[in-house]
């Protein structure tokens, strides 16, 4: 234990030295001639750097070698709480869970405050690993223990983390009660966290105006706290993404990234980098999207964030689809769906189902598109993802119509129209127009289908989704629309010469973006059937 704690402290000083020198860990690794995983392991404290390596790091970062001399490790054998806290900075959740759980089970620790903190740390480490059921149990213990101690700060932090677990488990009402309780009992400097969490919950349920109000209120009350501002801006960017407002989400995610980077907020850097990858993918800037995704994936791997790491895999499946590599995307989505289901991660499950439904639709696999989309729509209704539910309803209706069974789509389209009349975005409107156009085409009225596709293109352009606009243009092009054909030629020209950066574990590959593959991956309108062909 002593040696492990020493490595953690040396790793912390390596990160400090690199940060002071304005270097990323990757740049530091290049400067001292070691692979990226090795320098990350040094910084995480999972590998002790040799004296020669420390000398090279000191030279590269401009600090003295004495900076890394920690002398005798200050940690006493058996001091479980100190070790757990060391293992969580930087995060090593597996070890932290193991040590905290053993300490709680041993009965050797008697101090109530230390027991409460151990339960809290065990809960947050389990949360970090995406093990939400176990995490919620520990966090309930911690919040109850802190309440008995009348320790408001610890109680608020425990309730906050517990609410996040419950949100991911789909227990949204109880999660809301946790966040509201955290806002009541927390210290003044903690209150913005509960407000941001409540805003995220409102966003999840499609109550976008309420979410924005909560964020603006928190920003007004905590504008002098840089960390609060960074978190609020990050959540505002995610809100714009959830609404499908990609034009506004583009600069918002970029600003949030800069603020989170300046403060070293690793969790938000990860979250916003993944969000930016989705935004840039929708904008048609696939090369930039791949770089943003690589950044998010690297952070998730470095800190061991399993839940967000799986989310990055879902985003990668989305980006692969937008590059036109449909079979590869479907395989990746099926893998992430299985893991998301096993780990009870609803956000990743919903996105995996969406990729499976959309790749099937683009391949002309109408029955597959219908089956995945119906499953996704039901899942999103239960788990309250209204914007994604609208996409699934559109894909299910379009799949049914294109497969020669338009009557199967009637009820789906009626629900979709009602959703679009209520509060959803221009992106949802574009998806509805796609489904309506496919229905009209399938029943033998292509002249009526063309205006639906054109309106869909306008809606996609209004929200900033170049990729959805291209999918609609592909269907319109097949009907002989020369303007749509010209639009697609311009898109192909803009994509030619771009490169995609793919990062898997320690490997990194740079590949050219194939504009013809991209074009073929936009859809298969020539396979749409008439009812009598069923």
Per-residue pLDDT, 131 = 83
Q: Is residue 495 part of a domain?
A: yes
Q: Is residue 497 part of a domain?
A: yes
Residue 330: count of CB within 10 angstroms of its CB: 24
Question: Higher pLDDT residue, 443 or 510?
Answer: 443
Q: Which among 283, 353, 340 is positioned nearest to 307, based on CA atoms? A: 340
Mean pLDDT of 246-264: 93
Alpha-carbon distance of 224 to 40, in angstroms, equals 33
Q: Is residue 78 part of a domain?
A: no
Per-residue pLDDT, 104 = 66
Per-residue pLDDT, 84 = 53
CATH number of the domain bearing residue 414: 1.25.40
Expressed as residue numbers, the domain containing 503 is 336-533
pLDDT 10s digits, 311-341: 999 999 999 999 999 999 999 999 999 999 9
Question: Higher pLDDT residue, 98 or 289?
Answer: 289
Average pLDDT, the chain: 86
In sequence order, the 6+-apart residues with CB closer than 8 A to the CB of 368 are: 356, 357, 360, 399
Alpha-carbon distance of 408 to 411, in angstroms, equals 7
Q: Is residue 38 part of a domain?
A: no
Residue 191: count of CB within 10 angstroms of its CB: 19
Lowest mean pLDDT among 18-27, 283-292, 372-381, 448-457: 18-27
Question: Higher pLDDT residue, 369 or 12?
Answer: 369
**Residue pair 304/91 in contact by the 8 Å Cβ criterion:** yes
Lowest mean pLDDT among 89-93, 167-171, 352-356: 89-93
Q: Which among 337, 341, 347, 291 is positioned nearest to 317, based on CA atoms? A: 337
Q: What are the tokens at 218?
A: 């928190």
The answer, yes or no, to whether residue 266 has pLDDT greater than 70, is: yes
Q: What are the tokens at 74?
A: 């200050």
Percent of the chain's residues with pLDDT above 70: 87
The number of domains in the chain is 1
Per-residue pLDDT, 476 = 96
Q: Is residue 330 part of a domain?
A: no
Q: Is residue 528 part of a domain?
A: yes
The answer, yes or no, to whether residue 229 has pLDDT greater than 70, is: yes
Residue with tokens 């906050």: 160
Question: Higher pLDDT residue, 109 or 488?
Answer: 488
Per-residue pLDDT, 148 = 93
Alpha-carbon distance of 198 to 175, in angstroms, equals 9
Q: What are the tokens at 330?
A: 């479907």
Alpha-carbon distance of 374 to 160, in angstroms, equals 34
Q: Is residue 68 part of a domain?
A: no
pLDDT 10s digits, 395-451: 999 999 999 888 889 899 999 988 887 765 789 999 999 999 999 999 889 899 999
**Residue pair 420/456 in contact by the 8 Å Cβ criterion:** no
What sign has the CA pseudo-torsion 257, 258, 262, 263?
negative
pLDDT 10s digits, 107-166: 656 678 888 888 898 888 888 777 888 899 999 999 999 999 999 999 999 999 999 999
Per-residue pLDDT, 503 = 66
Per-residue pLDDT, 474 = 97
Q: Is residue 481 part of a domain?
A: yes
Predicted confidence band of residue 3 (pLDDT cuts 50, 70, 90): very low
């Amino acid at each position: 234990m002593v040696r492990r704690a020493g490595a953690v402290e040396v790793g912390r000083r390596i990160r400090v030295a690199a940060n002071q020198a304005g270097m990323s860990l990757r740049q530091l690794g290049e400067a001292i001639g070691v692979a990226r995983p090795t320098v990350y392991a040094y910084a995480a404290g999972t590998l002790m750097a040799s004296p020669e390596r420390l000398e090279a790091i000191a030279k590269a970062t401009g600090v003295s070698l004495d900076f890394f001399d920690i002398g005798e490790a200050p940690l006493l054998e058996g001091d479980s709480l100190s070790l757990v806290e060391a293992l969580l900075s930087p995060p090593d959740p597996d070890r932290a869970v193991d040590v905290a759980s053993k300490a709680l089970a041993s009965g050797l620790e008697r101090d109530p405050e230390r027991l409460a903190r151990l339960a809290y740390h065990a809960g947050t480490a389990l949360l970090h690993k995406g093990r939400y059921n176990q995490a919620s149990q520990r966090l309930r213990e911690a919040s109850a223990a802190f309440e008995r101690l009348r320790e408001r700060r610890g109680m608020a932090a425990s309730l906050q983390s517990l609410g996040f677990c419950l949100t991911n488990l789909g227990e949204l009402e109880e999660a809301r009660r946790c966040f509201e309780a955290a806002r009541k009992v927390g210290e003044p400097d903690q209150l913005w966290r509960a407000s941001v969490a409540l805003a995220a919950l409102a966003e999840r349920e499609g109550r976008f105006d309420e979410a924005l109000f909560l964020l603006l209120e928190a920003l007004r009350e905590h504008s002098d706290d840089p960390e609060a501002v960074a978190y609020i801006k990050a959540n505002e960017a995610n809100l714009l993404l959830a609404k499908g407002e990609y034009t506004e989400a583009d600069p918002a995610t970029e600003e949030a990234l800069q603020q989170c980077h300046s403060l070293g907020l690793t969790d938000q850097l990860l979250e916003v980098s993944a969000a930016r990858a989705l935004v840039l993918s929708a904008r048609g800037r696939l090369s930039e999207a791949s770089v943003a995704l690589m950044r998010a994936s690297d952070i998730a791997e470095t800190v061991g964030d399993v839940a967000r790491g799986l989310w990055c895999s879902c985003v990668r499946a989305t980006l692969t689809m937008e590059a036109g590599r449909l079979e590869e995307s479907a395989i990746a989505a099926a893998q992430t769906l299985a893991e998301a289901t096993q780990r009870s991660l609803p956000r990743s499950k919903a996105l995996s189902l969406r990729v499976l439904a959309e790749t099937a639709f683009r391949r002309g696999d109408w029955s597959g598109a219908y089956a995945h989309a119906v499953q996704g729509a039901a899942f999103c209704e239960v788990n309250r993802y209204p914007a994604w539910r609208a996409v699934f309803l559109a894909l299910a209706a379009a799949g049914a119509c294109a497969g020669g069974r338009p009557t199967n789509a009637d009820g789906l389209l009626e629900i979709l129209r009602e959703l679009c009349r209520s509060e959803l975005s221009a992106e949802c409107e574009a998806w509805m127009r796609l489904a309506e156009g496919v229905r009209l085409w399938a029943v033998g009225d292509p002249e009526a289908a063309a205006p639906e596709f054109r309106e869909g293109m306008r809606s996609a352009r209004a929200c900033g989704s170049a990729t959805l606009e291209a999918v609609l243009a592909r269907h319109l092009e097949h009907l002989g629309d020369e303007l749509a054909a010209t639009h697609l030629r311009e898109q192909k020209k803009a994509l030619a010469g771009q490169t995609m950066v793919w990062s898997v574990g320690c490997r990194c590959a740079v590949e050219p973006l194939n504009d013809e593959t991209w074009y073929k991956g936009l859809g298969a309108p020539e396979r749409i059937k008439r009812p009598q062909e069923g």
